[in-house]
Amino acid sequence: MLDRKAHCRAATLLLALFAVQDHAADDDAIRVQGGKRDYDERQYDTADKLVIRHDELLRDGDTELTDALKRLPGITVGSAGEVSLRGLASGYTQVQVNGDRMPQGFSLDSLPPDMVDHVEITRTARADSTGQAIAGTINIVLKRRARTAQRALTATMTGAEGLAQPSLGMHLSDRKAAWSWTLDGSAGYKDVQHHIEEIDVGSDAQRTPILLRVRQTIDPIQTGSLSLAPTLQMTPSDLGTIGVESFLKADHIASNLSTVSRTPLGQDDLHGYDVQRNRHNLLVTRTDLSWAPPMNNDGKLELKLALNTAQRNTVFREQGDDYMGTPNLDTVVFSHAAEQGLAWSGKYTLAPLGDHTMAAGWYASISHRAETRDEYARGFPGIAPIDTADIYQSQMHSYALYWQDAWQASERLSLYGGLRWEWLQTHSTGDTFATVDEAISTPCPTLQGVWKLSDTGRDQIRLALARSYNAPAIAKLVPRVYTSTNNSAVEPDFQGNPQLRPEIGFGPDIAYEAFPADGVSLSVGAYARRIENYVRQDISQINRRWLIQPINAGDAHTHGVEMDFKLPVRLLLPTQASWVLSGNVTRNWSRVDQVPGPANRIARQTPWSGSLAADYTATSGRYAAGASYSYTAGGLVRTSPTLFADSARRDELSLYGLWKPKQGMQLKLSASNLLHQRWVDVAGYMDATGTLSATRIEPSHMALRIALDLAY
């Protein structure tokens, strides 16, 4: 019944979208308004790319970029802030900032949308970008070039669960004949309190209950953040174009977690009361130097040198008592990590050769990471003291060469082909494990094509076939053991696997895209991927402690369908006000060959996701309002022959209203997470001896926000 209703809604939407073709202008040229080219990359580029502009990211008044991303086509955001395309995170989705990978420890949920110029979504790997994109790439492009002289200030106050979260953002820019500069900045404070209930249930082989344990956790977290992004661009007549772009982000996070455990049935926890205090400081910097020198021919050369650094300092203390209130745990950990990286890249675009536009490029980078970890633990009866000082170092070299050709084969057919070859080398050393060396060399060919179905170019078929990969992170390669406080089959220790091989993805994409009128779009597509060397988790028990490791386990397969649309209501109904409907839906299926079914899907892949939004703008332009609804499905998944996971569906509803009392001033009120559903996640283990499951329940809270924007 649900599928039949969904098909009816889809058919109704298609009829509505094609009805607006009667309102479309015959002119299929690119519109020019106010001196700006209204260019839609999705409609006019051969290589797949969907671009979301700055204004659309700010539409709902979000203060965290992840909140804005989850409303975009095909993107889902998990409870831990991980961002995914086609329901696949964990390295399958490549998330970049200004075209380069994010530094380790950098989090998108602390990046304000105000500092973002646009977001690029590509679902098929391209030759001029990394091939580590089995599910696709999300590129966050920060504000770069000043278009006009401007001064802007945004003050925001958010309230959730009675806690205040103020933030302040600014934008300064100026432009002269031969140079321009911008300075974007933001500062914020966030105070949240997590209330978590965890229920452990165990049974034996006869399904007789043998364990019932309940943990109540309170975790107040205070976060202070500061971000700055200055840019400078110069165009001296004899040197071409020179650009300097920098980014600095500093975070201070304080957490004071406390857990109380009680066990009505079964063996008690080692620690009936547990307190964890964590102080975390992170500083990330990045500077890009770009140069486009003047050329004697019609070719174009682009060079870029990038330097990035990251510093992390953490102080962690954990104390625990047994059920009688006797202390049995007191551990202090001091850790420091420093990362430096240097990257050099270039791209040379040849002068057009007939209907061909060819380009070649390279990428080379080196990064070094050093980490120290000092742990001190008191001894207790039956528990030995700990006094360790560990040093870990890793170095990564990355190289790539690529070539691509965009060919306008006819007025209706355009093709894009490219080959990218990537080499990765990692070298890791440490006090507690043997040296680990890993080398990867892989080709990433891609072929894409667009066939215009009419002379107007307003509807088209897009096809693509590409090979991509997912290289294991260093943490998954290094055989360093990360221990858990309450070790069990559902809360095991973790150790990397030096024998891990990269996953290889290969498969096609197909989509029908229509642009029947300006501001109207429809895309209906499908995809399929075969993933070789699929990485899953393997669990075992060593010396009475449970340990989990990543292993390569044959092949996995995933496929899905996706649809998104945008429709101004004025093209269907006689109204002067601007009403715009937009939405998207994605359905994903997957299968892992070496995991028995049912529910042998790729771990943590979202099966269903979608969103629907309605936005209103008054004819005067002084008032605007809107609402958006997003849905993310959960469901059971078997992640290995003995491990399983489950999660509940997630519904979110948001509202906003905007008022512009005068030029250069606007006031925005918004409410998010109006349904304030609970996050429910289950982790489980089952074998011939019985079953153990841990259910984690965390309520969410509605947030109210008021923002004042001033610009002059």
Q: Pick the more confident residue, 19 or 586.
A: 586
Answer yes or no: are the C-beta atoms of 655 and 671 closer than 8 Å: yes
Strand pairing report for 535-542 and 545-552: antiparallel
For residue 32, what pLDDT is reported?
A: 35
Answer yes or no: are the C-beta atoms of 636 and 644 closer than 8 Å: yes
Answer yes or no: are the C-beta atoms of 454 and 502 closer than 8 Å: no
Strand pairing report for 556-568 and 503-514: unpaired
Q: Who contacts 603 (Cβ-Cβ below 8 Å, separation ≥6)?
A: 90, 536, 537, 637, 639, 645
Cα(691)–Cα(683) distance, integer angstroms: 11
For residue 56, what pLDDT is reported?
A: 86
Structure tokens at 137: 């790439």
Per-position DSSP letters for 282-348, written without gaps between them:
EEEEEEEEEEE---SSS-EEEEEEEEEEEEEEEEEEEEEE-TTS-EEEEEEEEEEEEEEEEEEEEEE
pLDDT exceeding 70 applies to what percent of the chain? 93
Cα(629)–Cα(131) distance, integer angstroms: 33
Q: Is residue 134 exposed (0-12), middle (13-18) or buried (19+ Cβ within 10 Å)?
A: buried
pLDDT digit string (tens) for 403-442? 999 999 999 999 999 999 999 999 999 988 889 999 999 9
pLDDT digit string (tens) for 258-274? 999 999 999 888 889 99
CA 349 to chain centre: 30
Q: Pick the more confident residue, 144 or 595.
A: 595
Structure tokens at 311: 């510093």
Cα(68)–Cα(119) distance, integer angstroms: 10
67's enclosing H/E stretch is helix 65-69
For residue 59, what pLDDT is reported?
A: 82
Rounded to the nearest 10 degrees, how much is the dihedral formed by the CA atoms of 695, 696, 702, 706? -150
Strand pairing report for 545-552 and 493-495: parallel
Average pLDDT score over the chain: 89
DSSP state of 42: H
Cα(490)–Cα(684) distance, integer angstroms: 6
pLDDT digit string (tens) for 443-489? 999 999 999 998 888 899 999 999 999 999 888 999 988 988 889 99
Q: What is the CA radius of gyration of the chain?
A: 27
Indicate the range of 4-18, 372-386, 474-488, 653-667 predicted with least confidence. Answer: 4-18
Angle at 175 between CA 174 and CA 181, to 5 degrees: 60
pTM of the full structure: 0.88
Per-position DSSP letters for 11-24, written without gaps between them:
HHHHHHHHHGGGGS
Answer yes or no: are the C-beta atoms of 666 and 657 closer than 8 Å: no
Q: Who contacts 141 (Cβ-Cβ below 8 Å, separation ≥6)?
A: 98, 99, 116, 117, 118, 119, 120
pLDDT digit string (tens) for 211-245? 999 999 999 999 999 999 999 999 887 888 999 99
Cα(629)–Cα(687) distance, integer angstroms: 40
pLDDT digit string (tens) for 521-551? 999 999 999 999 999 999 999 988 999 999 9
Confidence of residue 73 (pLDDT cuts 50, 70, 90): confident
Q: Give me the residues paired with residue 566 across strands.
A: 521, 582
Cα(85)–Cα(74) distance, integer angstroms: 6
Cα(75)–Cα(525) distance, integer angstroms: 15
Q: HEC string of 576-639? A: CCEEEEEEEEEEEEEEECCCCCCCCCCCCCCCEEEEEEEEEECCCCCEEEEEEEEEECCCCEEC
Answer yes or no: are the C-beta atoms of 525 and 511 closer than 8 Å: yes
Cα(638)–Cα(594) distance, integer angstroms: 11
